[in-house]
Structure 1
Amino acid sequence: MTSLSQTQRQYLRKIAHDLKPFVHIGKHGLSDTLFSSAEIALDAHELIKVKFYDFKDQKREIAQELAERTRAELIYLIGNTAILYRRQPDDTKRKIHLPRT
């Protein structure tokens, strides 16, 4: 995935503001089920929130690993919530159109 500009990141943060978390990281941490749930959510929505209930002291590392394994980009990490984005490769299914930089 190409690196996003600051303008595009701000745009995605703005869109994500009203989203509810799709993926929850609890006592089981990073599991295969969690990765498949994140994949499904990214395929359907492109932009998702991930909520940390456990492993809060490792949230930066876990969010990075989740982004890498799902081929997504970590947009922002605030509090116990991470925002991930993965562009839909099919133009006809794309829901988010990023501003040009």
Structure 2
Amino acid sequence: MLKLTPAERSALRSEAHGLNPVVIIGDAGLTPAVMKEIDASLDAHGLIKVRVFGDDRDARVGMYETICEELGAAPIQHIGKLLVLYRPKKEVQKERSEKRGKGLREVTIIKGSPSGTKRPTVQKVILKGNERVTAGGNIKRAKKRQTSSKKSALDRT
């Protein structure tokens, strides 16, 4: 189980205030599927809320402790049927997308001055996967957008 200082716990409580529950525990209780979903949510978000249906307070406290011990999470807050959990996010390398060259990429555009006597302008731009930079330094789409056959048929009439 992860240990936090009271100041860290207070900061995480205030951050969790605006969150909605991402996992709901029903009548079946803590099944392996629910634990797997909580684990995946903690990896993705770090700080999550879990809603527990059931009126037995002792059972909710038991679930809260079980989740924290098995998943290595820190208990932040338990108010009524809401449980707030924290575990630092895991850093995941996305090498696959870099190899293909898709997604966002940063490009530096250098444009010379019209007269040629002043300094060139340097501009860093983030391009989407379907955009390219022309020789003049303008950004254009690499492919034309697809148009609807129904829409083009209406335009012809």
Per the shorter chain, which TM-score range? Answer: 0.7 to 0.9
The total of aligned residue pairs comes to 92
Counterpart of 2:78, as a letter, is L
Q: Which has the higher helix share?
A: 1
The higher relative CO (CA closer than 8 Å, separation ≥ 6) is in 1
| Aligned mates of 2:17, 2:60 — CA distance in 1 | 19
What percentage of residue pairs aligned between the two structures are identical?
33
Deviation at 1:55, TM superposition (A): 5.5
Q: Which runs of 5+ in 1 are unaligned?
A: 93-101
Question: Alignment partner of 2:20: what SS?
Answer: coil
Deviation at 1:88, TM superposition (A): 2.1
Structure number with greater Rg is 2
CA separation in 2, counterparts of 1:61 and 1:9?
A: 20
Tell me the C-alpha RMSD between the 2 structures.
Answer: 1.8
Measure, in 2, the Cα distance between the counterparts of 1:46 and 1:65: 18
Is the aligned partner of 1:20 residue 2:20? yes
| Map of 1:65 onto structure 2 | 66
Residue in 1 aligned with 2:76?
A: 75
What TM-score results when the alignment is normalised by the length of structure 1? Answer: 0.83
CA contact 1:16–1:48 (8 Å) conserved in 2: yes
The answer as to 2:35 corresponding to 1:35 is yes
Which digits, 9 at most, give the CA deviation of each residue in 1:46-65, with x for residues without a partner? 00001011253211111110
CA spacing shift, 1:63–1:55, aligned 2, 3 Å: farther
| Contact map agreement 1:26 1:55 (CA 8 A) in 2 | no
Structure 2 unaligned segments of length 5 or more: list them. Answer: 94-157
Q: Is the 8 A contact 1:75 1:84 kept in 2?
A: yes
CA contact (8 A) 2:2 2:73 kept: no
Q: Compare the two structures and name the one with the higher strand fraction.
A: 2
Question: TM-score, normalized by length of structure 2?
Answer: 0.54
